[in-house]
């Protein structure tokens, strides 16, 4: 069996509401509202839509006193941790901290100086509220721009370390760091440089990525190298428009990099002249009938008699088809042949059997270990690896 070795960048843990960020905890997915925060009904409604999509932390902007004034009401009506985004006016951070918020996000380059930053740090410390130090390439401090000439990775990391030192001098260590740019190579190089020097957890993302679908591709290009390096403790895919699609895009990137697998992965070969079955119809039906399933497994549907058998063996459940028939493989072994009309039902039967076996293993493991684990637990969130007999085993490290 071949197994990838992933080493997660070891960071300290920081509590944000009912989530713990960093360490060996899942890589949490977050998003940000687009409403006027003081419009409580619109803001809460959008957060509820984000929650339904799977969002695990949510950020709201707090540029005005009327935005800060409604934070208690917003917090009361949502289920996920509430983060307040502060730009320019440190007084809005101080006002937000009078409410039961879970984290403050500060951009040190535009907060107005060290003493103002210290005031926010002290209040976060006294209130027990985490802070994200959000360095942005577009708003670095003037002295760093003078020193480096442009917002390069060393300048961004120096900015973060500078403000971390100030916070630590005030006895505050509930810190999460982000180092964002709209330039993908800058994002990757900056986080890698930071990870060599510091162990505070990171929120990763490509800022101002733009409009989908290009923005999703751009974000994936920036986030995937970091995730594969083990860097990143929370993640956001920043998209123009409705924030709800950000959530699925983030989970898809986590799944594709093997960092957090929460549902079946369906693999299908590209359409080509060798196809002898209606592959698009079969895959579409499988997608429809697998909707909502959360077991982490790899399912391949190959319509090629050339590469199909070998590829199907590499999946947890696979089918290699041609001339209206398909061979079903399970754990690398060919178990039966079915007609094209039977393929979807046959695959689902094997998937159901696989799922029941995995749940039985979890119960047995929990019983042996003396742990009370529910039968329907989500293995991805419990750190359980997806096993493939002859191929890739992707550990659930986030």
pTM for the whole thing?
Answer: 0.84
Q: Which three-class secondary structure state does DSSP give residue 263? A: coil
Considering the chain, tell me which residue range(s) the CATH 3.30.413.10 domain(s) occupy. 265-369
CATH, range 14-256: 3.20.20.20
Distance CA 177, CA 249 (A): 22
Domain limits, CATH 3.20.20.20, in the chain: 14-256
pLDDT tens for each residue of the chain, 398 residues long: 345 677 899 999 999 999 999 999 999 999 999 999 999 999 999 999 999 999 999 999 999 999 999 999 999 999 999 999 998 899 999 999 999 999 999 998 888 889 999 999 999 999 999 999 999 998 899 999 999 999 999 999 999 999 999 999 999 999 999 999 999 999 999 999 999 999 999 999 998 878 999 999 999 999 999 999 999 999 999 999 999 999 999 999 999 998 998 888 888 777 665 666 788 888 899 889 988 888 888 888 877 665 555 666 677 888 888 778 888 888 888 888 998 898 899 999 988 988 888 788 777 777 776 655 443 333 334 333 343 333 333 333 34
User: Which are the contacts of 341, defined by CB distance < 8 A and separation ≥ 6?
Assistant: none
The CATH class of 265-369 is alpha beta
Residue 85 Cα distances to 42, 113, 335, 365, angstroms: 18, 17, 55, 43
**343, burial (CB in 10 Å: exposed 0-12, middle 13-18, buried 19+):** buried
């Amino acid at each position: 069996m071949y197994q990838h070795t992933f080493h997660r960048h070891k960071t300290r843990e920081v509590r944000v509401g009912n989530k713990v960020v960093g360490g060996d905890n899942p890589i949490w997915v977050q998003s940000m509202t687009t409403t006027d925060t003081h419009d409580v009904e619109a803001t809460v409604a959008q957060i509820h839509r984000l929650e339904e999509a799977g969002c695990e932390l949510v950020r709201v902007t707090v540029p005005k006193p009327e935005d800060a004034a409604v934070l208690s009401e917003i917090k009361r009506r949502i289920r996920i941790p509430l983060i307040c985004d502060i730009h320019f006016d440190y007084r809005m951070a101080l006002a937000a901290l009078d409410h039961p918020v879970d984290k403050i996000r500060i951009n040190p380059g535009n907060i107005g100086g060290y003493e103002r930053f210290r005031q926010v740090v002290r209040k976060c410390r006294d209130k027990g509220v985490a802070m994200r130090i959000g360095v942005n390439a577009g708003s670095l401090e003037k002295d760093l721009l003078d020193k480096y000439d442009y917002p390069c990775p060393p300048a961004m990391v120096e900015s973060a370390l500078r403000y971390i030192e100030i916070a630590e001098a005030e006895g505050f260590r509930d810190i999460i760091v982000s180092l964002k740019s709209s330039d993908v190579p800058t994002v990757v190089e900056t986080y890698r440089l930071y990870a060599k020097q510091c162990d505070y957890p990171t929120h990763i993302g490509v800022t101002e990525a733009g409009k989908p679908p290009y923005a999703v591709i751009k974000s994936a290009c920036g986030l995937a190298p970091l995730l594969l390096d083990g860097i990143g403790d929370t993640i956001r895919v920043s998209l123009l428009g409705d924030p709800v699609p950000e959530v699925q895009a983030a989970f898809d990137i986590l799944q594709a990099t093997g960092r957090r697998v929460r549902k079946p992965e369906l693999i299908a070969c590209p359409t080509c002249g060798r196809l002898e079955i209606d592959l698009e119809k079969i895959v579409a039906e499988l997608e429809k009938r697998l909707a909502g399933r959360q077991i982490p497994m790899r399912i391949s549907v190959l319509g090629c008699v050339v590469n199909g058998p070998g590829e199907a063996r590499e999946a947890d459940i696979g089918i290699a088809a041609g001339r209206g028939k398909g061979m079903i493989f399970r754990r690398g072994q060919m178990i039966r042949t079915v007609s094209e009309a039977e393929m979807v039902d046959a695959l689902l039967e094997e998937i159901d059997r696989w799922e029941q076996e995995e749940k039985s293993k979890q119960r047995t493991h929990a019983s042996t270990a003396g742990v009370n684990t529910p039968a329907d637990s989500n293995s991805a969130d419990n750190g359980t690896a997806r096993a493939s007999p002859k191929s890739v085993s992707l550990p659930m490290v986030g």
